[in-house]
Amino acid sequence: MDNIQKQEFTLELIIKFLKERSGYSDYYGLQRMLTKANLFYFEAGFLADRLQQLEYAEYKPSESIKLTQKGWNFISFSYLKQHEDKQINLHELTTQNLILQNENLEYQNSAITKQKEIDDLTVENLKLQNKQFTRYIIYSIIAFVLGAIVTNLEFIYNLFVDKK
């Protein structure tokens, strides 16, 4: 066990000890508890200060230590780390989800843009087809009239020459 793990283990024991004593103990009671548990890694005052820094307890040096509401709600450091990891994972997944949603919206926007281009090209194509069809009809009528004139050219010539 490294130094941090030893400290966390000891702090958890102190919080458990304080919860068993209705959240309060005098400084010497804390020292006796650490001695009985054979925990000589850290001094009782240092540990009490650490709990106060973490806002788990209120500590009056060499007098008393009392749990705060945060101390009463404390479960364990491993639980806090798991909860923190879950929050980090949730944040990462939320970020990834937003990125994917953004990509999806960009794709939808590009699809809408492409569909608009297709619609515009379809309209232009229909206009060109209408022009071509109109020319075809006009050329067909002109060809029909010219064909009728050429076929009946002798008759038309005789019609105009006879009138003179």
pLDDT of 1:
61
Q: How many CB atoms lie within 10 A of CB 31?
A: 16
* 86 within some domain: no
Would you say residue 68 lies in a domain?
yes
The pLDDT, as a whole number, for residue 83 is: 81
pLDDT of residue 151: 92
Q: Do the domain assignments include residue 47?
A: yes
- What pLDDT is attached to residue 164? 53
**What phi and psi, each to the nearest 5 degrees, are found at residue 94?**
-65, -45
- Decide: 12 and 6 in contact? Cβ < 8 Å: no
Q: Indicate the number of domains in the chain.
A: 1
Q: What is the extent of the structural domain holding 34? A: 3-73
Residue 37 sits in a domain whose CATH number is 1.10.10
In angstroms, the first-to-last Cα distance of the chain is 132
- Provide the residue count of the chain: 164
Is 125 inside a domain boundary? no
* Residue with token string 């843009």: 113
Q: Is residue 53 situated within a structural domain?
A: yes
Flag whether 48 is in a domain.
yes
144 falls within a domain:
no
Buried b (16+ CB within 10 A) or exposed e, 134-144: eeeeeeeeeee
pLDDT tens for the chain, 164 residues: list them: 666 777 777 777 777 877 777 776 777 777 777 777 777 677 777 777 777 777 778 878 777 778 777 777 777 777 778 888 889 999 999 999 999 999 999 999 999 999 999 999 999 999 999 999 999 999 999 999 999 999 998 888 888 886 65
Residue 116 is assigned to a structural domain of this protein: no
DSSP string over the chain: --HHHHHHHHHHHHHHHHHHTTTEEEHHHHHHHHHHTT--SS-HHHHHHHHHHTTSEEEETTTEEEE-HHHHH---HHHHHHHHHHHHHHHHHHHHHHHHHHHHHHHHHHHHHHHHHHHHHHHHHHHHHHHHHHHHHHHHHHHHHHHHHHHTHHHHHHHHHHT-
Q: Which amino acid is at 30?
A: L
